[in-house]
Amino acid sequence: MPVVFVLIWSTGFIVARFAMPNAPPFTFLCWRYALSVACFGVWIAWGRAPWPVGRAQWLHLGVTGVLMHAAYLGGVWAAVKAGIGAGTVALLVGLQPVLTALWLSAVSTSNRTAAVTGCQWAGLALGLTGLILVVWRKLGVGEITPWNLSLALIALIGITAGTLYQKHFVTRCDVRTANTVQLIAALLVSLPLALSESEAMRWNAASVTAMVWSVFGLTLGGSSLLYLLIQRGAATRVTSLLYLVPPTTALMAWAIFGEVLTVPMLLGMALTAAGVALVVTAPSSRRSR
C-alpha cells in the first residue's frame, strides 16, 4: 500500500501540469470534486457503506476536506497554473513531514513536555539547505515568483494541518463516506473561487484524460489510501512517505515535460530527502516528568 500510494500521489503534480493549459485551476477542481462525489455515491449505495455518526464527525471531516482538498489541491494547481514546475512544487510541499514531525515533537503530551532533538534540528537544516539549492536556481530563471511560491506554501500548510487534524479529531469511519463528506466541503469552499475565474474550461483529449485520472486514480485511489494510512499509522510515519514523492515527481516531469534536472537540483533533492528522513526517524528527546 505505501509504495502504491507514493506512485499515485506523485502523479498528482504531473496531472496538474498536464491539465492546466486547458483549464483554470478551481474550475477543474470543482468538476473533479463533483464527479468524485458522484462516483463515491454509487460505490456507497452498492456497498451500503455506513455514514459517519454524529454532527461532530461530520464537522471534523468537513474541516479536513477544506484543508486536504481545497487548500492543498487548490494551492498546488493554482501554483502550477502560475508557472511553477511540477517537480518544484512537489519539493516545496514535500517539506510536510518536517513540519509534522516538529509540530508533534513540540506539542506531544505523552510525558507532559517534549523537545525537538539536535538530530531533528540537523535534519531540518539539511532539508532547508537542499530546498534552497533547488529554489535558488528557479528564482534566477523566473520560474518561482512571490505569487506562486505563496500558493505552494498554502498547499503545504493545508496538507500538514489537515493530516494532523484528521489524526487527532476524526474517528475511524468508512473511507468512502468520509471522503464524500470531505469532498463536498471542498466543493462548497472552492466553488466561489471557480465562479470568479474568467478563463473557460476547454474540454479536449488532454483535459478529459487529466480529469479521468484525477477522479479515479487520485481521488478515489490516492485520497482513499491516504485516509486509510492516516487511520492505521502514526501521523509522522505516514507523512514520512511523502519525502519519496518529490524525487519521483521530478523524474516523471523530466521524462514527460523535459523539466531540467541539473546537478545542484539533484543534490538539493537528495539533501531534502535525507533531511526529512532524519527528522521523521529521530526519536524525540524527553525531559523528566
Q: What's the pLDDT tens digit per position in 154-204?
A: 999 999 999 889 888 988 888 899 999 999 999 999 999 999 999 999 999
Binning pLDDT at 50, 70 and 90, where does residue 288 land?
very low
Q: What is the pLDDT of residues 45-90, one digit of tens each?
A: 999 999 998 899 999 999 999 999 999 999 999 999 998 888 788 8
What is the DSSP secondary structure assignment for residue 244, as one 8-state letter?
A: G
Q: Global pTM?
A: 0.82
25 to 77, 196, 242: CA distances (angstroms): 6, 11, 23
Q: Cα separation of 29 and 77, whole Å?
A: 9
The interaxial angle of helices 2-19 and 245-257, nearest 10 deg, is 40
Grid cell in block for residue 74: 487548490
Residue pLDDT, tens place only, 260-284: 777 877 888 788 778 777 766 766 5
Angle among Cα 232, 272, 86 to the nearest 5 degrees reads: 85
| pLDDT tens track for 224-271 | 777 777 666 655 555 566 667 777 787 888 888 887 777 877 888 788
Q: Which one has a higher pLDDT value, 109 or 207?
A: 207
For residue 286, the model assigns a pLDDT of 46
| Closest by Cα among 7, 14, 21 to 88 | 14
Per-residue pLDDT tens over the stretch 101-154: 777 677 764 444 445 677 777 877 787 787 777 766 666 566 788 899 999 999
Answer with the residue of higher pLDDT: 7 or 150: 150
